[in-house]
Amino acid sequence: MSPEELKAYQAPKDLLKDRVILITGAGDGLGRVLAREVAAHGGTVILLSKTIHKLEAVYDEIEAAGGPQPAIYPMNLEGATIKDYDDLAANIENEFGRLDGLINNAAWLGDMTPVALYNPETWSRVMTINLHAPYLLTQACLPLLSQAQDPAIIFSTHDVQRAYWGAYGVAKAGLEGLMKILAAEYQGDIKMRINGIDSGPIQTHLRRQAYPGELATNNPLPESVASAYLYALGPDCDSTGQNFKLGD
């Protein structure tokens, strides 16, 4: 589908009925919007982020709108261990008995600076949050996802392999590579859609950090790209290994 078609996609109200969807970075920005939209289309959302009060606010919004009762899972992706990810998957299985979708959306920009001047500690933090964490989380959740009838994994990508984007640009390039490799590995007996979505410019905190001189209101709201995520999560999507770019 073209970017215009993805943005115009009209998801059926019960698109995600009885499905359990895990969303990282669900406390604000795009993640918050996606959580509300998934719930509005019948999905039970597992809200993952490090800031509890933000997750509680999203939880309350979903409940107030009459969506399925969500779950809150506070987790700091920067400091999480392999056991933490395994425990998360075990808790999902014990609580819900299933996992139908995963949106790896959490991100952290770090510094906008030349590689020659990049602080190695910041580099490590950026790579952990933007690349290592999605890999570890996805790997831990794959056994559960593989048992679902129509599983989907989405990576929020960002094509910024340009000067001064440093560790973030490298991590996002790696994330797209991880998506394509994983999709190729699951093109077989197990039906699993694994795709990336590059939202293009939208009004988020990360965008404001990267472009502080830009008039933020010139960019569309995160709600404008939610339909593409719904499409990739639901059975109408027949693609895997694709990186859907919605803007420049």
Choice among 9, 168, 229, 231 that is catalytic:
168
pLDDT means per 10 residues, the chain with 248 residues, are 92 97 97 98 98 98 97 97 98 98 98 97 98 98 96 97 97 98 86 95 93 92 96 95 92
pLDDT recorded at residue 188:
76
Distance CA 236, CA 150 (A): 11
Beta-carbon contacts of 53 under 8 Å, excluding residues fewer than 6 positions away, are none
CA within 13 Å, CB half, 38: 30
How many domains does the structure of the chain reveal? 1
Reported as a single tens digit per residue, the pLDDT across 49-63 is 999 999 999 999 999
The CATH number of whichever domain residue 59 belongs to comes to 3.40.50.720
The parent domain of residue 235 ranges over 3-245
Q: What φ, ψ does residue 44 adopt, rounded to 5°?
A: -90, 120
Is 168 a catalytic site residue? yes
Place of tokens 């999902």: 92
H or E element, residue 45: strand 44-49
How confident is the model at residue 72, as a pLDDT? Answer: 98
